[in-house]
Structure 1
Amino acid sequence: MRKLIVLAIIGLCAQLVDGSLGMAYGVTSTSLLLMFGIAPAAASASVHLAEVVTTAASGVSHIRFGNVDKGIVKKLIIPGSIGAFLGALFLGSIPGDIIKPYVSVFLLGLGFFVIYRFLFKKKVTVAQNQKNVNKRFFIPLGFIAGFFDATGGGGWGPIATPVLLSKQNIETRKVVGSVDTSEFAIAICSSLGFFISLGWSQINFMWVFALMIGGIIAAPIAAWLVKIIPSHLLGILVGGMIILTNVRTILSTFNIPSSATAIVYCVLIGFWIIGVIYVIANLKKYKIQYEEV
Structure 2
Amino acid sequence: MDFDLVLFVGVGFAAQLIDGAIGMGYGVIASSVLIATGMPPAVASAAVHVTKIPTGIASGLSHWKFGNIDWLVCRRLILPGIVGGIIGASVIALLPIHVIRPLAALYLGLMGIVVILRALRWRQNLAIDAAPKGRPGIVGFLGGLFDSFGGGWGPIVTSSLLLQGREPRLVVGSTNAAEPVVAAVQAAVFSFWLGAATLTTIGSTALAIMAGALLAAPIAAFLVNKLPGRLIAGAVGIILIGLNIPAVVSLIGRLL
| TM-score (norm: length of structure 2) | 0.81
- The change in CA–CA distance for 1:149 and 1:101 in structure 2 (over 3 A counts) is same
Query: Please, which of 156, 163, 188 is the counterpart of residue 160 of structure 2?
Result: 163
Name which of structure 1's ranges 18-27 and 101-110 shifts more when overlaid on structure 2.
Answer: 101-110
Q: How does 1:190-229 map to 2 (within 5 A)?
A: 190-203=186-199, 204-229=202-227
Counterpart CA distance in 1 for 2:247 and 2:137 is: 29
- The change in CA–CA distance for 1:241 and 1:161 in structure 2 (over 3 A counts) is farther
Residue 112 of structure 1: CA displacement?
3.5
Counterpart CA distance in 2 for 1:247 and 1:19 is: 21
Counterpart CA distance in 2 for 1:247 and 1:36 is: 16
Structure 2: gaps of 5 or more residues: 251-256
Question: Which has the higher Rg, Structure 1 or Structure 2?
Answer: 1
Residue 37 of structure 1: CA displacement?
2.5
> Which residue is 1:126 aligned to?
128
Residue 118 of structure 1: CA displacement?
2.1
2:31–2:45 Cα contact (<8 Å) kept: yes
Name which of structure 1's ranges 236-245 and 191-200 shifts more when overlaid on structure 2.
Answer: 236-245
RMSD of the alignment, in Å? 3.0
> Which residue is 2:74 aligned to?
73
Structure 1: gaps of 5 or more residues: 257-293
> Which residue is 1:287 aligned to?
none
Counterpart CA distance in 2 for 1:85 and 1:106 is: 20
- The change in CA–CA distance for 1:10 and 1:219 in structure 2 (over 3 A counts) is same
- Residue by residue over 1:163-192, the C-alpha shift from the partner in whole angstroms, topping out at 9 and shown as x without a partner, is 22222x211121111111111111101101
- The change in CA–CA distance for 1:114 and 1:218 in structure 2 (over 3 A counts) is closer
- Residue by residue over 1:67-111, the C-alpha shift from the partner in whole angstroms, topping out at 9 and shown as x without a partner, is 111121111111111111221123134576659858976984685
Counterpart CA distance in 2 for 1:221 and 1:110 is: 22
> Which residue is 1:186 aligned to?
182
Counterpart CA distance in 2 for 1:166 and 1:35 is: 32
2:63–2:69 Cα contact (<8 Å) kept: yes
- The change in CA–CA distance for 1:228 and 1:118 in structure 2 (over 3 A counts) is closer
Counterpart CA distance in 1 for 2:118 and 2:238 is: 14
1:101–1:249 Cα contact (<8 Å) kept: no
Higher relative contact order (CA 8 A, sep 6+): 2
Residue 7 of structure 1: CA displacement?
1.3
1:114–1:162 Cα contact (<8 Å) kept: no
2:68–2:169 Cα contact (<8 Å) kept: yes
**Percent identity, aligned pairs only?**
33
Residue 125 of structure 1: CA displacement?
2.9
- The change in CA–CA distance for 1:209 and 1:70 in structure 2 (over 3 A counts) is same
- The change in CA–CA distance for 1:107 and 1:247 in structure 2 (over 3 A counts) is closer
Aligned residue identity for 1:45: A
